Amino acid sequence: MKVLVTGANGQLGKDLVKFLAKDHEVYGLGRDQLDITNANQCSLVIGELKPEVIIHCAAYTAVDLAETEEDIAYKINAFGTRNLAVAAEKINAKLCYISTDYVFDGTSSKPYREYDNTNPQSVYSKSKRAGEQLVQTLTSRYFIVRTSWLYGLFGANFVKTMLQLAQERDTLKVVSDQVGSPTYTVDLACFLEQLVQTERYGIYHASNTGFCSWFEFACAIFEESGLKTKVESCTTEEFPRPAPRPCYSVMEQMAIRANGFEYLRPWREGLKEFLKELVVNNC
């Protein structure tokens, strides 16, 4: 299978390229090789490479900064996605768009299903939802994969931040009123490989199974790492941020179940594996 991965220098993109390269012909393109905001360049590069599948990981992900950089967020997440969708459709390639749990407002008390109404609350989440809509409108062979709370070996993430802070402080405060599903990039990459080889198109929710609060996640990180750092719970109000976060973003994985795929492993098992990987790579 010939696969083009956008955002190949990012947290998910790097792991995805590494994972896919074992069995497939992979073109991992970063911003320097493919500026997704340039429609002509998208058409030219994709037209020349002619991938069977495009996995679109490139995104503007600075959630708080997006509140003051709205045009940039939309230029990348919406119009950049549009450019890829148009180019993919020209060569009849499958397009897999990586989206986010943030497209929901977080007011539910039960897991969100794939076709529940979205209600994004921040500029970032609205721009990602716009990207979803453009993919649905402009392509005939698409997968939209919403994921949550990503962490991996490359780039900054919550797990790395907690481990770093544990070296600097004896006690940490972490919010306990935001609940979601932590997701290990390698586990998501494994699912994406399986998905894009099929024609089971549509919207998918894909995160490691189970859920926790950020406070519970932090406690688990320290427990699995053998660290004695004390963690205190606090509320979102105590740590105000420019962009609102969904209080509850647990996602039901009906599409995975209905289409015969296997769930990603439980989040704590993914965390254990990641922490081992950090040690092996001396990170």
Q: Is residue 32 part of a domain?
A: yes
Q: How far is CA 260 from CA 99, 226, 229, in A?
A: 21, 37, 41
Active-site residue, from 102, 112, 124, 142: 124
pLDDT for the residue numbered 282:
67
- Count of structural domains within the chain: 1
First to last CA, the chain: 32
> Using CA atoms, how far apart are residues 211 and 82, in angstroms rounded to an integer?
32
- Residue pair 135/81 in contact by the 8 Å Cβ criterion: yes
Q: Is 241 part of a structural domain of the chain?
A: no
Does the active-site annotation cover 124?
yes
Residue 218 in domain: no
pLDDT of residue 283: 58
Domain of 202? 2-157+183-209+249-264
- Residue whose token pair is 């979102």: 236
How many whole angstroms separate alpha carbon 83 and alpha carbon 217?
37
Q: What is the pLDDT along the chain (283 residues), one digit of tens a residue?
A: 999 999 999 999 999 999 999 999 999 999 999 999 999 999 999 999 999 999 999 999 999 999 999 999 999 999 999 999 999 999 999 999 999 999 999 999 999 999 999 999 999 999 999 999 999 999 999 999 999 999 999 989 999 999 999 999 989 999 999 999 999 999 999 999 999 999 999 999 999 999 999 999 999 999 999 999 999 999 999 888 899 899 999 999 999 999 999 999 999 999 999 999 998 886 5
- Specify if 169 maps to a domain: no
Q: Is the separation of the CB atoms in 156 and 103 below 8 Å?
A: no
Q: How far is CA 174 from CA 34, 57, 151, 207, in A?
A: 38, 28, 17, 21
In-domain check, residue 199: yes
**Tokens at 78, concatenated:** 């919406």
In a domain, residue 227? The reply is no
CATH number at residue 101: 3.40.50.720
Q: 96, 84 in Cβ contact below 8 A?
A: no
Whole-model pTM over 0.85: yes
With respect to residue 222, please indicate whether it lies within any of the assigned structural domains.
no
Domain presence at residue 219: no
